[in-house]
Amino acid sequence: MKLIEILFIALGLSMDAFAVSAASGATMKRLHIPNALKMGLFFGGFQALMPVLGWAAGLSMKNLIADWDHWIAFGLLSAVGGKMVYEAFRMKEEEECAGEKSCPFNTGTLTVLAIATSLDALAVGLTFSMLRVSIIAPVLVIGLVTFLMSVAGVKLGSTGGHFFEHKMEAAGGFILIAIGLKILAGHLGFF
């Protein structure tokens, strides 16, 4: 897999973390760099861990799904991307950082948010194992891109509110669907 493809996958996966980070940043009256870095570390760390878990699970099932791997990769990426597009256009209630336990920068809340936003990376890791892709480079790129996008999301949210968050999540979904289509078309001999 080429670095540019890995980068696009990383951008696609990081969009939901970016959207949550922007919404979380909007709950702050002013930017707190430690909160932005903490959110980036949690989101980037979980986005890096989940593909490893999916990749390991996929390796154990490789012989069972070898004939269908391109269809499964297409289906998983399309499902994750479609869910992201749907979530981007669905109406969401805004959260406020009112109390310590409900604050998105609280460690417990942040852990739940990081797991929720990284579940799609688990499916992508499974896809990597089917495509026989080494996991090291994708994990490093996904983790770093998500870290940077999360910190940028907190900054954007703290200064500009929610203007871009839904558009970015939809863009990420469309990117994942396009990559799924490319994988399928490549295996079917279209290019």
CA separation for the pair 72, 83 (Å, rounded): 16
Tokens 């499902």 belong to 79
Using alpha carbons, select from 116, 135, 98, 141 the residue that is nearest to residue 11.
Answer: 141
CA separation for the pair 65, 28 (Å, rounded): 47
Residues in the chain, overall count: 191
Secondary structure E strands in 60-129: none
Per-residue pLDDT tens digits for 118-175: 878 888 888 888 888 889 999 999 999 999 999 998 998 888 655 555 666 676 667 6
Per-residue pLDDT tens digits for 72-122: 767 776 776 677 678 777 755 444 454 445 577 888 878 888 887 787 888
Total domains in the fold of the chain: 1
Q: How far, CA to CA in Å, does 105 sit from each of 9, 152, 158?
A: 26, 15, 13
CA separation for the pair 20, 112 (Å, rounded): 12
Structural domain for 112, as ranges: 3-187
Whole-model pTM: value is 0.70
CA separation for the pair 177, 12 (Å, rounded): 9
